Amino acid sequence: MIYKHVYGPVPSRRLGRSLGVSPIPSKTCNYSCVYCQLGRTDRMTNIREDFFAPQELLSEITNAVKENTSGIDYVTFVGEGEPTLCKSLGYLIDETKMRTHLPVAVITNGSLLCKSSVGEDLVNADIVLPSLDAGDEETFLKINRPHKAIEFKAMVNGLKEFSKIRHGELWIEVMIVKGLNDSEKELEEMFNILQEVKPDRVYVNVPIRPPAESWVEIPDEDSIAKAHEILHSYIIDKYEEGDFHIDDPSQLYDEILKICERHPMREEQIRKLANEFGVSSDEIVSNVGNNTEVKVVQYHEKRFFVVKPKRI
């Protein structure tokens, strides 16, 4: 069965086998991060609304869980933009936990946690993974390029307040970009904020997939090591993701395209899936690459396949 809003499970370096749920339209966000793997934001908004019927989303989640034969570690609300823009996110989290008996994670930029309604919506999630990519307003504007209504201090205060009320784990994700936020000064400023937020974990990420802006680069190994040291972060290999999984080989091509809409795939990942089902890897790579909706990007000596965002 092909779903509109649910995909995977996909391999996650932090969450294992993650069933992704996108409760918002493609590229609907209140940030336009320079490193975003899905490109620049098309619809910049800071207003929460129900973009899709909550029952439609829940139906897809429960059906996908029933159909999956290989196990799911987390149901993850992540979206193709900012998932907390979904007004019914709290209801969706609670209903998903009740109907599937699986833990729920939310990957968010954290910008709306300053709103009490958003904190209340996320309070029952098993893991909330907000971003913190800057230690000051200037860097925040350069790297995250937020909606004009979002202030750096309010965003940081939102992280602090949510940390006090959460029931589950709080894992902060820091994306470091060469020349933007990888200096010792920038890292120390972020660490000072993290000391007040008191997360359970900190993860340092680097832009391993093609970014929104072509000038974005991965910091050198010394800078990455310094980031881990200063931020006391968990260390994960840049490309250690695990395997993608598809239950129905007859839907292989469509499922690969669906994954590429939200999660750019490397060529070797597509070939591995094809080989798993005894399908010609050359043929499937060629077919995916020749699709007019797919963009093939060379980035750090790897070929990535990305489905172009649908314009609103």
- Write the single-letter amino acid at 25: P
| 247 is a domain residue | no
Q: Which tens digit of pLDDT belongs to each residue from 197-244?
A: 999 999 999 988 889 999 999 998 889 989 999 999 976 655 455 556
70 and 175 housed in the same domain: yes
**How confident is the model over 289-293, as a mean pLDDT?**
86
Residue 163 has pLDDT above 60, yes or no: yes
- For residue 10, what pLDDT is reported? 83
73 and 194 housed in the same domain: yes
- For residue 296, what pLDDT is reported? 81
127 and 70 housed in the same domain: yes
137 and 193 housed in the same domain: yes
Residue 107 has pLDDT above 60, yes or no: yes
Assigned token pair, 84: 């907390």
DSSP structure string for 172-215: EEEE--TTTT-SHHHHHHHHHHHHHH--SEEEEE---S--SSTT
Mean pLDDT of the chain: 89
Q: Which tens digit of pLDDT belongs to each residue from 57-76?
A: 999 999 999 988 678 999 99
CATH of the domain at 312: 1.10.10
Q: Of 186, 210, 242, which one is at a domain's C-terminal end?
A: 242
- For residue 235, what pLDDT is reported? 67
Q: Of 242, 277, 304, which one is at a domain's C-terminal end?
A: 242
282 and 233 housed in the same domain: no
CATH of the domain at 89: 3.20.20.70
236 and 130 housed in the same domain: yes
| 53 is a domain residue | yes
170 and 90 housed in the same domain: yes
Provide CB contacts within 8 A for 221, sequence distance 6+. Answer: none
Least confident of 84-88, 238-242, 284-288: 238-242
Residue 311 has pLDDT above 50, yes or no: no
- Write the single-letter amino acid at 82: E
- For residue 248, what pLDDT is reported? 66
201 and 78 housed in the same domain: yes
Total domains in the chain come to: 2
| 305 is a domain residue | yes
167 and 31 housed in the same domain: yes
Percent of the chain with pLDDT over 90: 61
SS3 77: strand
Confidence of residue 103 (pLDDT cuts 50, 70, 90): very high
- For residue 289, what pLDDT is reported? 86
Q: Is 3 left (phi over 0), alpha (psi -120 to 50) or beta?
A: beta
Least confident of 15-19, 74-78, 303-307: 303-307
Domain that holds residue 292: 252-312
Predicted TM-score (pTM) of the model is: 0.80
- For residue 309, what pLDDT is reported? 59
Assigned token pair, 169: 């784990």
69 and 161 housed in the same domain: yes
271 and 143 housed in the same domain: no
- For residue 8, what pLDDT is reported? 81
124 and 22 housed in the same domain: yes
SS3 7: strand
